[in-house]
Amino acid sequence: MDSDRLTELRELLLRRSSVELLPPTNPYESFRIKIGSGLVVGYTSGKIVASFPAAAEAVGEAMRELLVEAKDYDVLIGSDEAGKGEWLGPMTVAASAFTPSQAVEAAARGVMDSKELSVSRILDLAEYVRRNSSGYRVVVIGPERFNKLLRDARDEGKNLNDILAWAHARAIEQVYRKLPKGVKRIKVVVDEFDRLRTEERLRRVLRLERIVLEQRPRAEEETAVAAASILARAEWELWVDRESRRLGLDLRRMTRKEAMARRDVESFAKVSYLSSPEEGAASPSS
């Protein structure tokens, strides 16, 4: 949650019965509270860690009381991508929709920017998002298609951001179209990479006067965007696993030189990235 609201959360937790305020054990802790046999630690970064189900439930209830009523939307759609800068695998773009109460519950369950999570945790949380969001969509641009799209874009004087804007708009549109008819206040949040291209693409498929569009850095602070990052990264990981099994090798261990020597390189690699070492790592950072 926002770090500037940690004090409010602490006060709500301290109103419960059977609680004890403990001294912080390091400068990164904002508060440490014992709830029954469980423990809740709030960090200055805004991250909350709870041990035992009862403590986690207490945090969820306090967050709902503190945050749900303050939201300026009925549903928020967030989008994010994975595999954008890596030579291995597809580029995946995901969108997910959450009501305020769903967003708070997801945050309490540990939904956060996928770069902060292990692969196993990402896969677990992706399943949670699929089951508990108001809608989701993942657009997968496999390496062969990505290679062609990028070549065509460059021939037309365009670049990767044009492909990204199209993919984000498609994922967001498909989630938007499946929302219940009665939803009025809809907000869309996208990590800022090219404001004009993204808005142009979204304007083609959505009536922007009916929604609030927000493009900003660190958009993953919104739970819906963090959830989208988890879905996108999970799909990237699963794709690489499937392709590794198909080829009978571990693609994650393959070097650029080994990849370029294969005739089927376009089936699993973004070839322009292979010839430009500064452009792509082997796998997403985590």
Q: Which two tokens stand for residue 241?
A: 């696993």
Structural domains in the chain plus CATH codes: 3-70 (3.30.310.10), 75-239 (3.30.420.10)
- Judge whether 81 and 92 are in contact, CB under 8 Å: yes
Q: Is 166 helix (H, G, I), strand (E, B) or coil?
A: helix
Collapse the DSSP code of 90 into the 3-class scheme (helix H, G, I; strand E, B; otherwise coil) and give the result.
coil
User: At what angle are helices 6-14 and 53-67 packed, to 10 degrees?
Assistant: 120
In order along its 286 residues, the chain shows pLDDT tens digits of: 778 788 989 998 998 888 999 999 999 999 999 998 899 999 999 889 998 888 888 888 888 777 666 677 889 999 999 999 899 999 999 999 999 889 988 988 889 889 889 999 999 999 999 999 999 999 999 999 999 999 999 999 999 999 999 999 999 999 999 998 888 889 999 988 888 888 888 888 887 777 888 898 888 889 999 999 999 999 999 999 999 999 999 999 999 999 999 999 999 999 999 876 555 666 664 3
Cα gap 78→226, rounded to integer Å? 8
Query: Cβ(224)–Cβ(76) under 8 Å?
Result: yes
